[in-house]
């Protein structure tokens, strides 16, 4: 693979009304091109991002590994025709030049070869939202009937060992509310750490505002309070332009670099969150123990798609708990947070109000930091489910196509961690089932290093194997099961089943067919409460030895009655 090369620094382009170049008549299959730039939101740069097929995902493509390897070689050969700008090692993505106006034609030609997961523009994207009120204002979003932050802070205010990376325009280095606990910054355009000369001072003002939302210091008799006011913020500057514009490849590089430095959450308040590269980067961050939080943008769009992707997309609400008029929404958006008239830190050692999903995003990132502070052993997937189920429901009952899981609530989220007690936990690090008290009624299960999501070991259940564990829930209610799980090689209709026993019958709570690790927070029905006969089990529904499910980081939790 090619070595990393320095990406060119973006210059500030004059604003213009975009005119799309149409492909030749013989190449047109429809009047509408796949990629359409939106002025001031997502604009073409003349660069593309391509990710070849991945060998480890051969079965998902319906191919052999040898066939995928052949297609990867073909992808490399096809990309050799274009000037390479950069190569993202963590995510196997190529950034290359095609020239302005050629984005749709090149994407269509390369995707038609069947050798790529995606080929998409390396969009020029913009910080979302700007100051609208320089006068003093209140932080209404922390109120008890909204984020309920004060009650949540009675349980957790954050740990300085948990770092929240703000991928933005820089930060005012001498701001009275942002200096304490600040970590070394990084300039993602120049690819330099602050100690090596990388500039991280704020060239626009946007980054100072978003940093304050996530981690402005509390109890210091100064200014405002961020959601995680004892967290350590790190500025990952993503623009050298006074206008603040950046690119998808620079933003994802910033988030990847933060995760490699050990940061637990990266916050990106820019447009472009629907890019395939953003989801791929979200998956990479999860593999490093971190979560990627990205703004839904201010275009008011209804984004279709699957919110169970790599990144957590955040929309904005107003002080009446309505969707902010500018906020995008839809099935692609995970959840919402306050984003209208948010009082936060500003340039000049000041404070002011601002609106945008830009500010809902770091408020959420700060809450993720509180989750990891409260329980650093949580996997990213488990932390995401706690974040989701800690939300206050808005709109239609339950998860819906406007608000997703609802609006974040600091107190409810912290309750899920601090009010719950662990009744049983096993990460299989003992290396066997005996130490965890498991029984194997059907055998065909082993504790293996290759079955681990975190740590050195996990449980592998093959063919028709079963492992089960009795866990008395007497004197506890609101029982929930946390578990990381994946499956492999199952045929249609086969799966790994996660089940619980109510004293007379087994009941399914989750069916696993996905090949990637995914953590679940599974709330169990009332029959699991206060039950001395309660059990859990993991059952492989297959008919061959190679068909299997892997399980790790199992916890049964409940609240004392």
- Provide the annotated active-site residues: 168, 206, 358
And the tokens for 469?
């564990």
Closest to 357 measured CA to CA, from 278, 291, 273: 273
The helices-and-strands tally (H runs, E runs) of the chain is 10, 28
CA angle, residues 130, 136, 142, in degrees to nearest 5: 80
CA distance 218 to 370: 14
CA distances from 273 to 191, 292, 297, 313, 398 (A): 22, 11, 8, 7, 24
Residues paired with 220 in a beta bridge: none
Residues paired with 168 in a beta bridge: 237
Q: What DSSP line would sit under 106-119, residue for residue?
A: HHHHHHHTT-EEEE
Reported residue count of the chain is 561
Residues ≥6 apart with Cβ < 8 Å to 144: 150, 151
CA distance 527 to 234: 46
CA distances from 488 to 56, 450, 468, 496, 557 (A): 11, 12, 20, 9, 28
Closest to 413 measured CA to CA, from 391, 390, 383, 394: 390
And the tokens for 222?
């100064």
In the block, which residue shows the tokens 């969150």? 273
538 and 466 in contact (C-beta within 8 Å)? yes
Residues ≥6 apart with Cβ < 8 Å to 276: 49, 51, 117, 118, 120
Backbone angles phi, psi at 186, to 5 degrees: -145, 140
405 and 392 in contact (C-beta within 8 Å)? no
Residues paired with 51 in a beta bridge: 118
And the tokens for 450?
């290759």
Backbone angles phi, psi at 159, to 5 degrees: -115, 135
CA distance 474 to 470: 12
CA distance 222 to 178: 10
Give the CA radius of gyration of the chain: 24
The separation between the first and the last C-alpha atoms of the chain, rounded to the nearest angstrom, is 58
């Amino acid at each position: 693979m090619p070595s990393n090369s320095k990406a060119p620094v973006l210059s500030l382009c004059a604003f213009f009304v975009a005119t799309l170049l149409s492909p030749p008549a013989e190449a047109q299959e429809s009047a509408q091109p796949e990629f359409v730039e939106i002025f001031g939101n997502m604009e073409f740069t003349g660069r593309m991002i391509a990710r070849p097929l991945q060998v480890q995902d051969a079965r998902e493509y319906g191919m052999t590994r040898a066939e995928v390897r052949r297609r990867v070689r073909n992808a490399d050969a096809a990309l050799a025709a274009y000037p390479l700008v950069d190569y993202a090692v963590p995510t196997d993505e190529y950034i290359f030049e095609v020239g302005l106006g050629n984005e749709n034609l090149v994407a269509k030609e390369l995707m038609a070869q069947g050798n790529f997961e995606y080929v998409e523009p390396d969009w020029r994207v913009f910080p979302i939202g700007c100051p609208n009120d320089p006068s003093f204002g209140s932080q209404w979003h922390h109120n008890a009937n909204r984020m309920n932050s004060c009650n949540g802070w009675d349980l957790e205010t954050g740990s300085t060992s948990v770092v929240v990376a703000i991928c933005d325009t820089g930060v005012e280095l001498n701001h009275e509310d942002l200096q304490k606990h600040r970590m070394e910054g990084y300039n993602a355009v120049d690819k330099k750490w602050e100690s090596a000369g990388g500039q991280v001072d704020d060239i626009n003002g946007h980054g100072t505002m978003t940093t304050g939302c996530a981690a402005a210091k509390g109890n210091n008799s100064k200014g405002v309070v961020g959601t995680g006011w004892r967290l350590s913020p790190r500025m990952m500057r993503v623009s050298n332009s006074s206008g603040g514009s950046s690119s998808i490849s620079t933003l994802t590089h910033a988030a990847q670099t933060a995760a490699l430095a050990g940061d637990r959450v990266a916050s990106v308040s820019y447009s472009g969150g629907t890019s395939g590269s953003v989801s791929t980067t979200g998956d990479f961050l999860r593999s490093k123990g971190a979560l990627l939080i990205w703004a839904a943008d201010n275009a008011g769009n209804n984004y279709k798609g699957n919110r169970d992707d790599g990144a957590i997309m955040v929309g904005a609400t107003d002080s009446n708990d309505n969707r902010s008029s500018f906020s995008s929404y839809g099935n692609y958006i995970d959840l919402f947070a306050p984003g209208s008239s948010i009082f936060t830190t500003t340039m000049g050692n000041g404070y002011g109000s601002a609106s945008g999903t830009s500010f809902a995003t770091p408020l959420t990132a700060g809450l993720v930091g509180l989750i990891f502070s409260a329980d650093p052993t949580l996997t990213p997937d488990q932390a995401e489910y706690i974040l989701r189920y800690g939300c206050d429901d808005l709109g239609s009952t339950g998860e819906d196509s406007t608000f997703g899981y609802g609006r974040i609530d600091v107190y409810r989220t912290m309750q899920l961690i601090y009010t719950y007690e662990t009744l049983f936990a096993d990460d299989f690090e003992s290396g066997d089932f005996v130490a965890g008290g498991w029984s194997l009624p059907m055998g065909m299960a082993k504790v293996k290093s290759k079955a681990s999501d975190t740590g050195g070991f996990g449980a592998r259940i093959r063919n028709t194997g079963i492992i089960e564990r009795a866990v008395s829930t007497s004197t506890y209610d609101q029982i929930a099961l946390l578990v990381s799980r994946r499956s492999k090689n199952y045929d249609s209709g086969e799966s790994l089943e996660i089940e619980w026993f109510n004293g007379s019958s087994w009941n399914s709570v989750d069916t696993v067919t996905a090949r990637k690790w995914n953590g679940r927070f599974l709330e169990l029905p009332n029959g699991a409460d206060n039950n001395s006969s309660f059990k859990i089990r993991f059952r492989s529904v297959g008919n061959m030895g190679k068909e299997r499910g892997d399980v790790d980081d199992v916890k049964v939790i409940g609240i004392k009655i």
